[in-house]
A and B are shown apart, each in its own frame.
Chain A
Amino acid sequence: MSNAVAAPKKGGFLAGTANYLDERVGVAGILKEFGRKVFPDHWSFMLGEVALYSFLVLLLSGTFLTFFFQPAMTPVIYDGVYGPLKGAEMSIAYASTLDISFEVRGGLLMRQVHHWSALLFVAAAGLHMLRVFFTGAFRKPREINWVVGFVLFVLGMAGGFTGYSLPDDLLSGNGLRIIDGMIKGLPVIGAYTSSLLFGGEFPGEEIIARLYGLHILLVPALILVFIVIHLFMVVIHKHTHYSGPGRKDSNVVGYPLMPVYVAKAGGFFFIVFGVIMLISATFTINPVWNFGAYDPSPVSAGTQPDWYIGWLDGALRLAPTGLEFIIGGNTWAFNILLPMIVGVGFLIVVAVYPFIEAWVTGDKREHHVLDRPRNAPTRTAIGAAGVVFYAVLWAGAATDLIATNFKMSLNQVLTSMQILLIVGPILAYIITKRTCLSLQRKDREIVLHGRETGRIVRLPHGEYIEVHEPLDEFEQWKLVDFKDYAPTLARPNAAGKITIGARIRAGLSRFYFEDRIAPVTQSELDAAHHDHAPAVEEKPKKAVAAKKTPAKK
């Protein structure tokens, strides 16, 4: 395939260009190496791409916005076209945001594109992380790439928050005020850090320009660097694939990069961009003109951060009353510190999870075939518990909206959330684990006895029986190809001592693998086939022979 490109004799413009490039940058070698690289095809593998493409859209629309936005907090009198703010005093930043919205053709469209794609970027990254988690794609050799992806998620939140604050309207100003309050609550360094960040007292006249520097330079540069690392590692590891016939840890099955994947992934960029554009053309996001200029005295009902910071805001709301103590003459604001500790702790657990699981299983092999979530019941249950924990914190940021829209008491909603934050994850863990185990049992049943057909047959001796249709070998393989782990005991080390580490590990391995359903083996399958009268299992028509023979050989 690369022959035509690599060694053009005489030819048209294309061949000439290819030759030119090859002789200067060795493009033929690159194409030979990567041109037919195989990518597995599955919808859930596109989620990371959605995040990547949203980021590209962010870069494009953001660059447009920088041409018009002025990150200065100097007060001016607004003299633009928006009626209900004409003559109002506001910062240059807010005035220029209004001008982008009302006086630049396509300006509002680009603001909305930028904001919608920011929401989508973090959402897609989050969903991508969930896919990676629940399919066990973070296992060796991808642990480091999980951490890189995690850093990207956190950088996405940082990019989002610094951008949220830039318009300097009432909403973003109150968001900054909350940040200021949280920083002040830090032990020892709080008041100093706040003063440094804001260049004096809140709100000062510095913060917007400082956040702007972070938002358009440092954060996107870091995101870009980490994306490059992330994708580089994907190329090194090659993509994982779901278990299926012919899909092994030693191969990758899918479509070649050129032409199929280039067309699909390239086309998908345009689709993601197009969907963002469609939403931005039709749905308002962050109508800054509604909120007015920032003023420390007013606040609007429903003052909330963008969704990806919501869980931290929820954590602040859910802190119980009376957590502030004066110890040794100094103020310990645990009503602020506790939510921060919970939030940071949660993030750390997410970041190091692959290492915890690797330690527990002790499995040092490379894993390229993905787990079906049900085949790793404990991991799936832990994931579900984490999702519920996050979701409750997230919903905690919307207690007021939940209360008004569902006609409930704000106070009761908040109290229920506090309870749910503890109880919810435990319930989710138990329910998910049990569900996974029963799904696995069902899979075993299907493999051993075939699918229920709903056809009742009367046997010669009068017994009624339902006919089960055996699986073909390809379907069957999907149900039996998974990794199975058995719990271990704490064993003494070389010195004959049982270390604490060994005990913890044994405890964890019991926690993980005590309840397990093993995949069906050949002997179990044979035994199952023996137990049945042929009429019970076989399809009465010719398909039976065709299907059964290969399975037996």
Chain B
Amino acid sequence: MAFMKNKGSRRSPFAAVLVMAAGLALTGGGYAAATAAVEQVKPASAVASAAQVEEGRKLFLANCASCHGKAAEGSAAGPSLIGVGAASVDFQVGTGRMPGQASGPQLEAKKVQFTQEQIDSLAAYVASLAPGPAVPTEEMLAADGDATRGGELFRINCAMCHNAVGAGGALTEGKFAPALKGVESKHIYEAMVTGPQNMPVFNDANLTPEDKKDIITYLKYVEENPSAGGYELANLGPVVEGLFAWVFVLGLIIAITIWLGAKSN
């Protein structure tokens, strides 16, 4: 909570960096790496230089063109990328979903194959083809919105697929809505604007940037505040609780009854 309040009251970008550093120290290892990436967003959201676009084009030809076409016009193996915007590239490549590998019901997040700089170049190239959603600025991502409103919006627009606290859920035919825990704010935002794979698009008329910020605020609150009741059973609801009651609680008690019924020597 203290961490949250600090974040909310910062004044200058410098203070932001300081707080971010403090946040890193607090939240530790895995999350630290993830947050660090957010700081590198800035160059991508700035106007791209011609050199960056050219660099991106080269990367595109080498890594993406086989499926998406030499001019990103799309092919049978991959959709057209004209007009998908920098946000889409940053999300797909930044979460490791692209370049895609084995075909399955859907592309899954995996190890990221490019540096953020390369991703920015790719994004700049794709953004230069036609206007599309841009990578969000850091200000749009700050988790200092209204968590209550965010929670309500999340439940109405997102929870049916992603679960009320973003633990994920099933879709048809092997597809699924991934868990949102540990996903960078930037990628959450980009997913909402671009609607990757079977996720619907939430454009700014549907969920305003303010709404999206509130949603991210809510998700980060849930992520950063461990359950008041003790260890969470993956937040998957009553099924897991029932299994736990049968296997562990009843199991433990049965072990005790066996001790109780055994003759002492």
Contact = CB atoms under 8 A, between A and B. Distances in A.
| A, B: real partners | yes
Interface of A: 41-47, 50, 83-88, 101-102, 108, 112, 116, 119-120, 123-124, 127, 170-171, 264, 268, 271-272, 275-276, 279-287, 289-292, 295, 297-308, 310, 397-401, 403-404, 407-412
B186 interface: no
B241 A306 contact: yes
Contact of B231 (A284, A289, A297, A301): A284
B261 A42 contact: yes
Interface stretch (B12-20, B115-123, B221-229): B221-229
- A-B pairs, top 9 by smallest CB distance, nearest first, are A301-B169, A307-B242, A284-B229, A300-B164, A409-B174, A119-B245, A400-B170, A43-B261, A84-B147
Nearest to A399: B170
Interface of A is mostly: helix
Contact of A84 (B151, B159, B161, B228): B151
A297 B241 contact: no
Contacts of A410: 170-174
Interface of B is mostly: helix
Contacts of A282: 230-231
A116 B241 CA distance: 9
Given A108-B228, A284-B230, A404 B168 contact: yes
B240 to A, nearest CB: 8
Given A86-B148, A282-B230, A170 B241 contact: no
Given A170-B164, A276-B249, A409-B173, A283 B244 contact: yes
B164 A271 contact: no
A84 B249 contact: no
18 contacts: A42-B261, A84-B147, A85-B148, A101-B229, A171-B164, A268-B257, A272-B253, A279-B248, A284-B230, A287-B235, A298-B159, A301-B160, A302-B163, A304-B237, A305-B238, A307-B245, A401-B240, A404-B176
A302 B162 CA distance: 9
Contacts of B151: 84-85, 88, 292
Given A283-B229, A283-B231, A404-B176, A127 B241 contact: no
B140 interface: no
A391 to B, nearest CB: 11
Contacts of A85: 148, 151
Contact of B148 (A88, A101, A287, A412): A88
A106 to B, nearest CB: 12
A507 B249 CA distance: 43
B230 A286 contact: no
Nearest to A408: B174
Among A83, A120, A308: residue with most chain B CB under 10 A: A83
A147 B160 CA distance: 41
Nearest to A281: B230
Contacts of B260: 43, 46, 264, 268
Contact of B150 (A84, A123, A308, A404): A84
B173 A275 contact: no
B73 interface: no
Contacts of B171: 410
A286 B258 CA distance: 30
A409 B175 CA distance: 7
A196 to B, nearest CB: 28
B165 interface: yes
Given A84-B147, A302-B169, A401-B170, A409 B241 contact: no
B228 A102 contact: yes
A396 B171 CA distance: 16
Nearest to A40: B261
B253 A284 contact: no
Given A84-B151, A301-B170, 12 more contacts: A43-B257, A171-B238, A268-B260, A280-B230, A283-B231, A284-B232, A295-B156, A300-B237, A302-B167, A304-B237, A404-B169, A412-B174
A463 B199 CA distance: 77
Given A84-B148, A87-B148, A119-B245, A101 B228 contact: yes
Among A284, A306, A407: residue with most chain B CB under 10 A: A284
Contacts of B235: 287, 290
A304 B239 contact: yes
A287 B155 contact: no
Nearest to A86: B148
A279 B231 CA distance: 10
A303 B150 CA distance: 20
B246 interface: yes
B34 interface: no
A227 to B, nearest CB: 19
Nearest to A84: B147
Contacts of A307: 238-239, 241-243, 245-246
